[in-house]
Amino acid sequence: MLCWIVCYLIWLISALDGSCSELPPVDNSVFVGNETDEQILGIYLCIKGYHLVGKQSLVFDRSKEWNASLPECHLGHCPDPVLEHGKISSSGPVNASDKITFECNDSYVLKGSNWSQCLEDHTWAPPFPICRSRDCEPPGALVHGYFEGETFTSGSVVTYYCEDGYDLVGTQMLQCIDGEWNSSYPTCESIQETPKPAEQSALEKAILAFQESNDLCSATENFVRRLKEGGLTMEEVKFSLEIKKTKLKTDILLKYHS
């Protein structure tokens, strides 16, 4: 601060002895100058409660003319607040520490803080909110699916469906609430078919029929009946049994030598 005062006094003495032109006045400001060999560099500082509009630094050279237009000190400490599709409590200049409030127009909803304060560093905090439409954007389309619903205004509902062969995973009905869908979109996933159990051969069915009866005669009759129902002859049965016998021997030998 002392340096600024000394610099200003040097500039003032130069002005009084006629070597400088009169100091250009700027209301509600303080001028600080710094003299060099060929020129004087000056800056304007607005007093508390005002903010500078225009170029702050000015240079006085040998032509004794200022090289820039003068700035102005405007009442108010922060940039004018703006809220699209809404209203602000203040309509005039805002000073440091002043607070303002926000309100959205009908059919819009406020997203963010409903108030803000002008700080000493010429900024607003919290940041200004936005007014978002209460209507929703069209919902997303599904791969292998579709939705039913033609309006997306606040309160409207859309319903999702999947194509044949696909299952819906997630919320089927979505509702528009204050500009946002109340749930994430579902998905359509392919239906996994359950594998069918392997069918028993005619011989296996005949063997099971044989085992179901404790009486040997009844068991034999059941066995023969099942063979006939399956269309098997005794020769085919004998051949199948020989194959099973050979396989059993092979499995036993492999297990014994392993």
CB of 211 closer than 8 Å to CB of 219: yes
Q: Quick one: pLDDT at residue 23?
A: 61
The residues near 60 (Cβ < 8 Å, ≥ 6 apart) are: 20, 21, 39, 40, 41, 42, 66
Class of domain 86-132: mainly beta
Q: Quick one: pLDDT at residue 5?
A: 41
Cα distances (Å, whole numbers) of residue 85 to 93, 125, 128, 209:
21, 20, 13, 83
5-43 per-position pLDDT tens digit: 444 444 444 444 444 455 677 888 888 877 776 777 778
Q: Quick one: pLDDT at residue 64?
A: 62
Is residue 219 exposed (0-12), middle (13-18) or buried (19+ Cβ within 10 Å)? middle
Q: Quick one: pLDDT at residue 3?
A: 39
Q: Quick one: pLDDT at residue 195?
A: 54
Which secondary structure element, helix H or strand E, spans residue 177, and what is its range?
A: strand 173-177
Q: How many C-beta atoms lie closer than 10 Å to residue 174's C-beta?
A: 23
Q: Quick one: pLDDT at residue 15?
A: 46
169-183 per-position pLDDT tens digit: 999 999 999 999 999
CATH architecture of 2-75: Ribbon (2.10)
pLDDT tens sequence for the chain (258 residues): 333 344 444 444 444 444 445 567 788 888 887 777 677 777 888 887 677 777 777 776 655 665 567 888 877 778 778 899 999 987 666 777 889 999 999 989 999 999 999 887 778 899 999 999 999 999 988 999 999 999 999 999 999 999 999 999 999 999 999 999 999 999 999 988 665 554 457 777 777 777 777 777 777 777 777 777 777 777 777 777 777 777 777 777 777 666
Residue 128: name the closest of 102, 107, 98, 106 by CA: 102
Q: Quick one: pLDDT at residue 198?
A: 47
Cα distances (Å, whole numbers) of residue 122 to 48, 74, 98, 223, 239:
11, 13, 12, 100, 100
Instruction: Determine the Cα–Cα distance for residues 88 and 101; give it in Å rounded to an integer.
Output: 6
In DSSP terms, 188 is beta-bridged to 168
Selected from 2.70.170.10, 2.10.70.10, 3.30.565.10, 3.40.50.1000, the CATH number assigned to the domain covering 145-190 reads: 2.10.70.10
Residues of the chain within CATH 2.10.70.10 domain(s) are 2-75, 86-132, 145-190
CB of 145 closer than 8 Å to CB of 162: yes
Which secondary structure element, helix H or strand E, spans residue 176, and what is its range?
A: strand 173-177
Residue 103: name the closest of 124, 85, 116 by CA: 85
